[in-house]
Structure 1
């Protein structure tokens, strides 16, 4: 009896231990499943709620709103130097062989001064022939006059008829006409002889000499000399039509020739009345006084100071440049960086005048560093 009870007690004890262990394993599995589920849900919902671009990751940049300030708009242009009045000098007469050349390029000449002469041998001989013809005509006229005088003295005696008087009078008039004709021909030949001397039509500076002694020239030859009238030069600059609108005749211009160590002051003397419909440009002609450093045919830069205008003014740190030209960074209404091409005008202590590209109400990056990219979102900080 005792044995049975002891065995039964042991069996019950073992069953209880097994049940306890099974329950414990079950609880462990339940807690493990719950833990895994919590982790998976956390990862899932964490990924779903994480922003792709945190708002605090955008860089902060300083911007300014330049507005518009009264500035003296300065426009620059390039062009070539030339004579304001280029006078080509050629052969006025019938020409011949050049016997002497009296001036060279770079000389100053006066109006009427002889530049070169043509050999006058043929024309001189023709002039002598004309003089002889005049002498012969004068002698014939004197003889006709004497014959008429004698005939008139015999009319009253009845030896000469009225018809003879009329004939002798006509002979005298014809002889006098021959004298006048010979004299006119002589003056013409003398004028031709005088035109063998190639003379300066006006005072000026000799730009080119295209003739040498011994050369045969005629009225169909090219210009033998080129003279800048009064030595006055000019620069012809090409400007856009919007730049020409602010210019007037008489405005001062600063011209700097390429390679020259200094600039020269000139003035606008003519503005082209027409704009090229293809290039949308017009020609502005700037008058310059003679100077040895100003060489016709050379290249120069002109700075035009037009009338005062209102334009945005930016610090130099806000303006960048590359192969495409000058530009600034602008922050748009979506706080994104945009590139804006600009045209720079005058430079002053206040900064750079922006002639085109900005209205003045834009938010311009104050210091446009290379770290900014077009389309990048930023946090603008308005400079005060």
Structure 2
């Protein structure tokens, strides 16, 4: 405060000339108290709001901080899964019959079928010239007639000798000699007949016939071609028209297969699916690629062409396992794993072994029983021991 006074020189009374202080009025004091009241009310409202949010204690806020992020978890249990093995392979005739020359051979004079033709057992496929062989057959037939005549003559001589021996005109030794002559003539007939049959059988081979009914896959000869037993297969026939897929299967999957299991085949270039059945499982494994062959029998269809490529989905029984979405399963250098939330809401790493891949997810064959609270997604952002707020996939926060 700054007071300024004036004192008279003659010793008169003291008097205040000026007071340099702003003294608030009654109205000013009222405004000041109003502002202070508003501030107090604002502070009280903020405190009340904090109380309602936290429940009145700082411990709840600390607990909420410790719970961490909200994480969706699932407990899928276990399910029965139809096992499937996917493989690829080459189409082929289930029983392919190579047909060639079975004999001396010669020049092809006629071909009766073409590739893609259906034939029956014994049906002629081609004919080889047999003009020389026919002459040989005629000669052999004539030899049979000559031998037969000699045999009849020898028999007649023996019959006459037997009549004379009773009268004593011919000795017993003459009869024995005539008997031997007759036997030799009869044997000669048999030799000539055998030679004729041999020539006829050889000639019959000059007509190439189908060994069984089926579909002609290849025709490798034309009229005028000279063929022999070393010419290779002139025709290839799929017996009964039956086909197969020679599916290449890993060593592990091959052990799961057995004869009779069903398979679905889709040839390359076709969207049609064919039903087949495994009829043979390879007893050996290729040491280079550790694979074996599962032979899948297929009925005839125009889309199934030998030499073509196809994929197969083979049934391999059923397994009981936990099925998880792909997002739940993580992997690193130590293998596959999932995050399981324990009773303290802490994330725990759980190693697992995966199996079949289905439309519903991936089967876990080892490491889980399905009752655990398993992190459904975003597990890659967790660390072992981290506290989270678990939320069931079909419920609210836990």
What TM-score does the superposition give when structure 1 sets the normalisation length? Answer: 0.71
- After the TM superposition, which residues 209-288 of structure 1 pair with which residues of structure 2 at under 5 Å, given as runs? 209-276=219-286, 279-288=289-298
Q: 1:359 to 1:189 in 2, by over 3 A?
A: farther
List gaps (5 residues or longer) in structure 2. 1-64, 393-398
Q: 1:320 to 1:332 in 2, by over 3 A?
A: closer
Q: CA deviation at 1:197?
A: 1.2
1:308 corresponding residue in structure 2: 318
306-315 vs 296-305, which deviates more? 306-315
1:346 corresponding residue in structure 2: 358
- After the TM superposition, which residues 76-115 of structure 1 pair with which residues of structure 2 at under 5 Å, given as runs? 76-115=86-125
Task: Tell me, in whole angstroms, the C-alpha distance in 1 between the residues paired with 2:208 and 2:365.
Answer: 55
Task: Tell me, in whole angstroms, the C-alpha distance in 2 between the residues paired with 1:96 and 1:61.
Answer: 84
CA deviations 1:206-251 (Å, max 9, x no partner) are: 1111222222222222111111111111112222344344433222
Q: 1:341 to 1:204 in 2, by over 3 A?
A: same
Task: Tell me, in whole angstroms, the C-alpha distance in 2 between the residues paired with 1:380 and 1:238.
Answer: 47
Q: 1:194 to 1:336 in 2, by over 3 A?
A: same
SS, match of residue 104 in structure 1: coil
244-253 vs 104-113, which deviates more? 244-253
Task: Tell me, in whole angstroms, the C-alpha distance in 2 between the residues paired with 1:329 and 1:378.
Answer: 16
1:200 corresponding residue in structure 2: 210
List gaps (5 residues or longer) in structure 1. 1-54
Assess if the C-alpha contact under 8 Å between 1:144 and 1:168 holds in 2.
yes
> Which residue of 115, 122, 127 corresponds with 2:137?
127
CA deviations 1:297-345 (Å, max 9, x no partner) are: 1111111223221223223555799xx9xx9874489959999995552
2:9 corresponding residue in structure 1: none
* Pairing 1:169–2:179 present: yes
Assess if the C-alpha contact under 8 Å between 1:330 and 1:363 holds in 2.
no
What TM-score does the superposition give when structure 2 sets the normalisation length? Answer: 0.69
Q: 1:364 to 1:278 in 2, by over 3 A?
A: farther
Assess if the C-alpha contact under 8 Å between 1:63 and 1:380 holds in 2.
no
Q: CA deviation at 1:151?
A: 3.2
SS, match of residue 253 in structure 2: helix
Task: Tell me, in whole angstroms, the C-alpha distance in 1 between the residues paired with 2:114 and 2:388.
Answer: 69
Task: Tell me, in whole angstroms, the C-alpha distance in 2 between the residues paired with 1:359 and 1:219.
Answer: 66
Task: Tell me, in whole angstroms, the C-alpha distance in 1 between the residues paired with 2:110 and 2:247.
Answer: 39
Task: Tell me, in whole angstroms, the C-alpha distance in 1 between the residues paired with 2:228 and 2:340.
Answer: 73
Assess if the C-alpha contact under 8 Å between 1:318 and 1:328 holds in 2.
no
356-365 vs 124-133, which deviates more? 356-365
Assess if the C-alpha contact under 8 Å between 1:329 and 1:365 holds in 2.
no
Q: 1:343 to 1:374 in 2, by over 3 A?
A: farther
Task: Tell me, in whole angstroms, the C-alpha distance in 1 between the residues paired with 2:315 and 2:306.
Answer: 24
